[in-house]
Amino acid sequence: MSGLYIGVDVGTQGAKAVIYDAKTKSVVSRGAYKYDVIKTNVPGRAEQHPSLWIEGSYAAIDSALSGVDRKDVRGIGISGQQHGFVPMDGDGQVIRNAKLWCDVESAKEAEYLSNEWEYSLVPGFTASKILWLKNNEPENFARLRQVLLPHDFLNYHLTGRYCMECGDASGTGLFDTANRTFDTQRMHSIDSSLPDYFPELIGPNEIVGHLRADVARELGLTEEVAVAPGSGDNQMSALGAGAVKEGAWVVSLGTSGTLFGATTIPVIDNSGGIAPFCDATGQFMPLLCTMNCTLAPEEVRKAFDMDHETITKLAEQEEAGSSGANFLPFLTGERTPNWPHSYGVLTGIRQGGMRPGLLYRAALEGATFSLVNGMRMLEKYGVTANELRVVGGGSKNRLWRRIIADAFQLPLRFPAEPESAALGGALQAAAVCAGVPVAEYVAENEPPCEEEFMEPDPSKKGLYEDAFERHQKLSNALFQQRP
């Protein structure tokens, strides 16, 4: 089906939109709108009001549509930050600010539920945030009638329909991934009424609905524009990177670092280190997420007041493995491993070692090792990768590309579209409007990659294995919970 399709990624730091032309198989326009979390002095809290996502999405879409004919738009797909808890009342109104994926204020609730379920639930997941609301704001919990995730909230705003799809739902901690349904027993352990507050589940190839009249007018679109199921940002990034077959894994370098890929069987890790996700095509998508990725090198860059190019050049002059220096990058606590009270640590510094290049390289390597740890965990479940597709803001750093290739000892490809999650939304919309299964559509219309194809350097394998082992031993010695 020809026409234009909008993909929107509603993230923690802003909303981004792309316009995809199904005829030319290309992105023809982009738009963006920046915002931030609500400032607070409460430790571990990270919140936004969902109205900000509407404002940001509208602004990003309007900017992207400025250079195209709006009457040619056929569909829209929403990608949203995962795990966020949007509490709604019975009248369709938001009860309070949404608690975000990076909010760890519910650490006590996560610990309680982990003991109840004999499963290590990280505080980033939605379930702990719901129990936090019940424990800390009972008057607001009493008003609760609908539980939505960020992308579900946008779908509701666009169409008036309450629903979830399996990809994003599998990030709540209240989902039976293997059977693709909600886990009512876990819900009852939070509150007996909770199953009534979750919306219907829809399939990956369904249309949620069409734009409400007032939304269509606001955006200058027709009411015939279809809204695709959407999903979490990681699921949609996989679509935008073309990673819909086993073996092609995605590494995303953003505020958080993620490693994920499609599998035909579920990976259920009771330690909670590997998230038991479904993908956005009807398959499964085990995922590792770290809370500290670009944060660590950015902290070093800002400390020395250098631009990215200058400090990268200095870091390129340092040895692989950072001459024994280690930057444990847990600046905001950590989700994987489940160490919400951990912190950043710099060790192994010798005389003259406080060089910006060395510290920057150590920070890049530390963030990378957290992701390598995820690959090692996945391998225990029989999951293997034959290539990595690297996306996110950090993917543009040439040194970081080289570190990842050599630390993983895998070849790298680089999707050409920087906004892979937004592109995933547009591709999904094009697929459901054409009546073609999403995985089939993406495979046939695979998003382009850069010409560069980076092979690992085998001579660096030993250096990075040694540096990774140091990273693991130091991290576990400082933060591993003891019985």
Digitized pLDDT (tens) for each residue of the chain, 483 residues in all: 679 999 999 999 999 999 999 999 999 999 999 999 999 999 999 999 999 999 999 999 999 999 899 999 999 999 999 999 999 999 999 999 999 998 989 999 999 999 999 888 988 899 999 999 999 999 999 999 999 999 999 999 999 999 999 999 999 999 999 999 999 999 999 999 999 999 999 999 999 999 999 999 999 999 999 999 999 999 999 999 999 999 999 999 988 899 999 999 999 988 888 999 999 999 999 999 898 999 999 999 999 999 999 999 999 999 999 999 999 999 988 878 878 789 999 999 999 999 999 999 999 999 999 999 999 999 999 898 999 999 988 999 999 999 999 999 999 999 999 899 999 999 999 999 999 999 999 999 989 899 889 999 999 999 999 999 999 999 999 998 643
Instruction: Count structural domains, the chain.
Output: 2
- 3-state SS of 68-85 is CCHHHEEEEEEEECCCCE
From the candidates 21, 152, 233, 406, which is the catalytic residue? Answer: 233
Give the model's pLDDT for residue 482: 44
Same domain, 57 and 206: yes
User: What does the block give as tokens for 446?
Assistant: 């695979």
CATH number at residue 161: 3.30.420.40
Reply yes or no on whether 196 is catalytic.
no
Same domain, 248 and 228: no
Q: What are 76's strand-pairing partners?
A: 6, 227
Same domain, 268 and 385: yes
The 10 Å Cβ neighbour count of residue 335 is 27
Is residue 69 a part of any domain in this protein? yes
Same domain, 160 and 268: no
Give the model's pLDDT for residue 481: 64
Helical H segments across 304-355, by residue range: 308-316
Q: Are 327 and 370 in contact (CB under 8 A)?
A: no
Is residue 466 a part of any domain in this protein? yes
Same domain, 18 and 39: yes
Same domain, 376 and 337: yes
Q: Are 325 and 367 in contact (CB under 8 A)?
A: no
Residue ranges making up the domain that contains 213? 4-234
Same domain, 209 and 253: no
The closest of 302, 318, 295 to 370, measured between CA atoms, is: 295
pTM for this prediction: 0.88
Which DSSP string corresponds to 143-169? Answer: T--EEE-HHHHHHHHHHS--EEEHHHH
Is residue 392 a part of any domain in this protein? yes
Return phi, psi of residue 95, to 5°: -80, -40
User: What does the block give as tokens for 216?
Assistant: 């269509």
3-state secondary structure of 22: coil
Q: What are 32's strand-pairing partners?
A: 16
Same domain, 230 and 260: no
Is residue 394 a part of any domain in this protein? yes
The amino acid occupying position 136 is N
Instruction: Describe the crossing of helices 356-379 and 295-303 by its angle, rounded to 10 degrees.
Output: 180
Burial 163-199 (b: 16+ CB within 10 A, else e): bbbbbbbbbbbbbbbeebebbeebbebbeeebbebbb
Same domain, 343 and 301: yes
327 contact partners, CB below 8 Å, separation of at least 6: 296, 300, 344, 345, 346, 359, 362, 363, 365, 366
Q: Is the peptide bond before 337 cis (omega within 30 degrees of 0)?
A: yes
Is residue 426 a part of any domain in this protein? no
Same domain, 230 and 250: no
Q: Which of 205, 234, 263 is the last residue of a domain?
A: 234
The closest of 234, 56, 64, 240 to 157, measured between CA atoms, is: 56
Q: Which of 173, 199, 234 is the last residue of a domain?
A: 234
Classify residue 39 by burial, with Cβ atoms within 10 Å: 0-12, 13-18, 19+.
exposed
Kindly list the distances between the CA atom of residue 329 and the CA atoms of 71, 100, 151, 342, 361, in Å, as whole numbers in the listed order.
Answer: 47, 21, 29, 9, 12
Same domain, 186 and 268: no
Is residue 433 a part of any domain in this protein? no
Give the model's pLDDT for residue 371: 97
Same domain, 287 and 159: no
Q: What is the rounded CA–CA span in Å between residue 95 and residue 125?
A: 19
Q: Which of 217, 234, 251 is the last residue of a domain?
A: 234
